[in-house]
Structure 1
Amino acid sequence: MKKFSRFFLLSSFLLCTVTIYAQNVDKDARAEHSMINVKEEKTATHTTHTGAQWFPEAGLGLFIHWGLSSVKNMDISWPMIPGRALSEKKLDSAELQRVVREKDYNLNGKPPVITPTEYWAMARDFNPQHYNPDKWIKAAKDAGFQYVVLTTRHHEGFALWPSAYGDFSTKNYIGGTDLLKPYVDAVRKYGLKLGFYYSPPNWYFDRDYMSFIYGRAYTLNPSLPKVDADLNPRTAKRSEEEIKQHQAAYAAMVKGQVEELLTRYGKIDLIWFDGKPPVPNATEIITQEEMRKLQPGIVINPRLHGKGDYITFERNPPKQDPGDTWAEFCNTWTNSWANSNTQPFRSNAFVLGEFVSARAWGVNYLLGVGPTADGVFPQSVYDNMKVVAGWMKKNSRSVQQVQQLPAGETASVPATANKNYRYLFAIPAFKEGGKYDADRLPAKDTTISLQTTLQPTAVSLLGSKQKINYKYTNGQLIIDLPAGIRTDLVDVIEVKLN
């Protein structure tokens, strides 16, 4: 997407929805990122390799989180880390001793639902007998997704391929089956761009050295003991030499696994890092220059090196136009990265609203789902993909191969441009902080405006071709959108300019 005008005016209902939603998730996202050494990026300088120039035009990506947590329909990795409540409440000495004794780290009167040791034990039951990524990717293709990113290894430490590094991968379980190869084949078969997610932080590998308490819990409660994988206070203290040797092995493991991902599967279009390992000179474990020697056209996100080809927004949408910087906003389709099986799906009106708002600023939207332990997408994933497919069939030209509004043009809603056409997005309203169908507010008669010096010749709903009344005076286009012609999803107004 070419970048022109860097600003558009949001309607009051959209601004309220986005602002409240961002406020609700900023704190959790920042806290998680601090634990895996991710810092907010504000700018990026992207590669000029011709093989990478697909990225800003991609628009819609599918983020597949899959790992051991699917055995118990949990979110991935983070359930083994208790203590978020302790990051918000300072305890006196007596209460802190009780919390540790009873393992009440979540301050809810009971031990956490799972310990790290119990979490990793799910590897014995992870055996995806009906794994069929061809079906996943075909559905994604039909729904208009342009690229796919799969978690090859999350913070939990379990690698979905038989890695030569470490002892916690499919090499040691499910008979050495490589779960990445069928995924790679399917993505290539359907012509999508291929992405690998990889977490340099590896909590299994680091299990004898790290504390399994939410990192920010220690800010208010510095006397809280470091705890082991059974959530008991650590009693052993590692020597400086042991720590040094462990860190060297940690770095070698990360470098070796990244090289495996970049050399075993042919062309990789994108690698999505998620954090830095707790070792000296973590950004130099494998440099971007070394990676580009193996994959010259690869797109690299910034979360390992502190810089990359684009900047990332997670769970909270961009608050301002990133300008000429490549950017991506990732969010979940349910309220969980990995659990699409038992969690309710967010309204597709909400999801598509986030998508079109991102596209209006030239930002890609990476939408997260998770397969079951058996290797299948729940039917609800396919059902919701069909909804998106139906919307894209009618409205795709408003979000694909489009630009931002030209300099000097603004709109009262998110908008895109393509030659002499403008696409204005009427996004359904939700209750404050709402994102499910039950939170939808009734449609109202709406007035939408576009400031442009070009004379409009036709205004209609893109999905139905229905003409809409409008007035154009002194460079301002005023469009009356009646509630009676609104759909349940994002409505796209197509404006043809002279």
Structure 2
Amino acid sequence: MTSTKGNHGNAVQDQHQLIGAASSQIEGTYASNSHSGAQWFKDAGLGLFIHWGISSVHGDSDLSWGMIADTPWDSNPHRVKPSDYFKLAEQFQPDSYDPDLWLKPAADAGFTYAVLTTRHHDGYAMWPSRFGEYGTRTHMNSRDLVRPFVESCRRNNLKVGLYYSPPDWYYNREYMSFGYKHRKGEGPALGLEHEPIELPAKPDGWDEQFQQYVRGQIIELLTEYGQVDIIWFDGGEEVKDAISIEEIRELQPGIIISPRMHGGGDYISSECYNWVKSITSKPTQIWEHCDVWSSHPAGIWGYTHKTEAYRPTSWMLSLLSRVRAWGGNLLLNIGPRPDGTLPDDLFVRFDEIKEWMSVHRQAIFDVDSDDYQLYSSVPVTKRGDTWYLHLLPEHTGPVTLEGISRPASVRLLRNAQDLSFEWNDSDNRFTLNLPASWNGETLDIVEIRL
């Protein structure tokens, strides 16, 4: 993933173009997996995205993207020369890594799946891959950081997701530019010291060799860790022939495949909050929205010293509400520290979400959704004759519903308070004035039974 705050839409498009990410906001070529083991994803609801790698050692650089000079979406002047960035692998020693300390509080808070970056664009493999020369096999005495994550997911009843970036900037470091402007056709190529260079031609057979390398690593991930529930590709359309969707499903019949490598998969994918707010109708396919949870001003995905603070729970719940009301899943990102621990702020957020879910879970999971904007002034989720009205913190004025039958009961889930409402028989119009106890500080849910 990529730094996306600020001018979100343009940044996301630029970054996807730079990594060769197939279009992620259109219906894909492949239908969703009909295997019984893949049906959970339709109502997964909430996932934990974990961007972790060698960049965390630096403390002021995003994962991979900190190497790219002149990017318009991040004003951080502390760009890392690629030559220095790649050396961070020598210092990456997560001695306090215990994924149970990440995943148990997440599961308790209502997360149902987790996705770990096994290899980001920088090319550092978080497992002792037999392919390539950059990863834990070469720099960490073959320590495997992926296996403990997978095993912890299973212990904590979370579906296992493995993120893999086909683009590899270490592997191709001698034959690529680390300058944003050049990659957009507007400036000179920049080398490992961010110096202007003339890019050399690749040796004969280089691209074919790279494709086999990518294929080998993907097969390792799909065959050496038991059942993998999601393979989360991010870019690499130019090497999509390294392994086909059909081959992946032969290795993992019940797997969910992201659309960002092959141009199609089991769902459509989006990122950045503004995309969710711009939706005008429910997507026709299963979809997932990923977003940054930290409050870093540049929307950093990996860990930096400035990602110790996380956005308030009210922000997270509002985003979750919008996504679920449109029928999607929210994949919310965190960035562990270089030693493998999480920022303290995250545990506060997990506890707050756990408390909220203890009362409101039924409005988020195992619910139906539709084009609620056609009849409601607020997001709506449903289960049979029970409707849940999502009162976003920013909402003002009365809540209205049109074209429904007269409710049998209306109550505020937070305190089980029965609420009075106005009813117009002539047009089946429901009006609810905001309850006096509503303070607009977090997401409130009103339950309507018809």
The answer, yes or no, to whether TM exceeds 0.5 is yes
In 2: Cα distance, 1:54 partner to 1:336 partner: 29
Residue in structure 2 matched with residue 75 of structure 1 by the alignment: 62
In 2: Cα distance, 1:43 partner to 1:33 partner: 17
1:485 positional shift: 2.8
Maintained 8 Å contact 1:83/1:217: no
Say if 2:13 is the partner of 1:30.
Answer: yes
In 2: Cα distance, 1:340 partner to 1:50 partner: 40
Residue in structure 2 matched with residue 231 of structure 1 by the alignment: 194
Which shifted more, 414-423 or 320-329? Answer: 320-329
In 1: Cα distance, 2:244 partner to 2:370 partner: 37
Which amino acid in 1 is paired with 2:445?
A: V
Maintained 8 Å contact 2:179/2:188: no
Say if 2:46 is the partner of 1:63.
Answer: no
The change in CA–CA distance for 1:328 and 1:361 in structure 2 (over 3 A counts) is: same
In 1: Cα distance, 2:138 partner to 2:154 partner: 28
TM-score (norm 2): 0.91
Q: How does 1:46-125 map to 2 (within 5 A)?
A: 46-73=32-59, 74-85=61-72, 112-125=78-91
Residue in structure 1 matched with residue 326 of structure 2 by the alignment: 361
- Give the alignment partner of residue 491 of structure 1, picking from 419, 425, 444: 444
SS at match of 1:156: coil
Q: CA RMSD in A?
A: 2.2
Unaligned runs of 5+ in 2: none
In 2: Cα distance, 1:201 partner to 1:52 partner: 27
1:22 positional shift: 9.4
Maintained 8 Å contact 2:51/2:117: yes
In 1: Cα distance, 2:106 partner to 2:407 partner: 36
SS at match of 1:141: helix
Residue in structure 1 matched with residue 350 of structure 2 by the alignment: 385
SS at match of 2:17: helix
- Give the alignment partner of residue 292 of structure 1, picking from 225, 240, 249: 249
Which amino acid in 1 is paired with 2:406?
A: Q
Residue in structure 1 matched with residue 153 of structure 2 by the alignment: 187
Residue in structure 2 matched with residue 146 of structure 1 by the alignment: 112
Residue in structure 2 matched with residue 93 of structure 1 by the alignment: none
The change in CA–CA distance for 1:488 and 1:251 in structure 2 (over 3 A counts) is: same
In 1: Cα distance, 2:420 partner to 2:231 partner: 47
In 2: Cα distance, 1:295 partner to 1:263 partner: 8
SS at match of 2:264: coil
1:358 positional shift: 0.5
Which amino acid in 2 is paired with 1:464?
A: N
Which amino acid in 1 is paired with 2:227?
A: K
1:396 positional shift: 0.5
- Deviation per CA, 1:52-99: give whole Å up to 9, x if none: 0000110000000000111122321111001124x9xxxxxxxxxxxx
The change in CA–CA distance for 1:23 and 1:180 in structure 2 (over 3 A counts) is: closer
1:175 positional shift: 1.3
SS at match of 1:132: coil
In 1: Cα distance, 2:423 partner to 2:144 partner: 60
In 2: Cα distance, 1:468 partner to 1:22 partner: 39
Runs of 4+ in structure 1 deviating by more than 3 angstroms, as ranges, are 21-24, 215-219, 320-324, 405-409
Residue in structure 1 matched with residue 266 of structure 2 by the alignment: 309
In 1: Cα distance, 2:40 partner to 2:135 partner: 32
Say if 2:434 is the partner of 1:470.
Answer: no
- Give the alignment partner of residue 456 of structure 1, picking from 407, 419, 441: 407
Residue in structure 2 matched with residue 338 of structure 1 by the alignment: 302
SS at match of 2:106: helix
Residue in structure 1 matched with residue 227 of structure 2 by the alignment: 267
Which amino acid in 2 is paired with 1:82?
A: A
Maintained 8 Å contact 2:128/2:137: yes
Which shifted more, 343-352 or 146-155? Answer: 343-352
SS at match of 1:493: strand
- Deviation per CA, 1:450-485: give whole Å up to 9, x if none: 123322011111111112220111311100113543
Which amino acid in 2 is paired with 1:488?
A: E
The change in CA–CA distance for 1:489 and 1:407 in structure 2 (over 3 A counts) is: closer
SS at match of 1:176: coil
The change in CA–CA distance for 1:406 and 1:172 in structure 2 (over 3 A counts) is: closer
SS at match of 1:372: coil
Unaligned runs of 5+ in 1: 1-20, 88-105, 430-442
1:321 positional shift: 3.2
In 2: Cα distance, 1:211 partner to 1:249 partner: 20
Which amino acid in 1 is paired with 2:112?
A: Q
1:363 positional shift: 0.4
Maintained 8 Å contact 1:408/1:452: no
| Number of residue pairs matched by the alignment | 433
Residue in structure 2 matched with residue 440 of structure 1 by the alignment: none
1:417 positional shift: 0.4
- Deviation per CA, 1:187-246: give whole Å up to 9, x if none: 001111110000000000010101001157644x3xx2211111112246326xx1x422
- Deviation per CA, 1:419-477: give whole Å up to 9, x if none: 11110111112xxxxxxxxxxxxx85x30011233220111111111122201113111
In 2: Cα distance, 1:383 partner to 1:405 partner: 33
Which shifted more, 484-493 or 167-176? Answer: 484-493
- Give the alignment partner of residue 247 of structure 1, picking from 203, 207, 212: 207
- Deviation per CA, 1:346-385: give whole Å up to 9, x if none: 2221111111100001100000001111011111111111
Work out which of the two has the higher radius of gyration on C-alpha atoms and give 1 or 2.
1
In 1: Cα distance, 2:380 partner to 2:141 partner: 51
The change in CA–CA distance for 1:380 and 1:408 in structure 2 (over 3 A counts) is: closer
- Deviation per CA, 1:36-60: give whole Å up to 9, x if none: 1122431142111111000011000
Residue in structure 2 matched with residue 329 of structure 1 by the alignment: 289
In 1: Cα distance, 2:247 partner to 2:159 partner: 22
In 2: Cα distance, 1:118 partner to 1:491 partner: 48
Maintained 8 Å contact 1:41/1:307: no
Of structures 1 and 2, the one with the larger relative CO (CA 8 A, separation 6+) is: 1
- Deviation per CA, 1:6-33: give whole Å up to 9, x if none: xxxxxxxxxxxxxxx9983101111111
Maintained 8 Å contact 1:199/1:274: yes
In 2: Cα distance, 1:365 partner to 1:66 partner: 19
In 1: Cα distance, 2:281 partner to 2:181 partner: 31
In 2: Cα distance, 1:152 partner to 1:273 partner: 10
Residue in structure 2 matched with residue 41 of structure 1 by the alignment: 25
Maintained 8 Å contact 2:37/2:254: yes
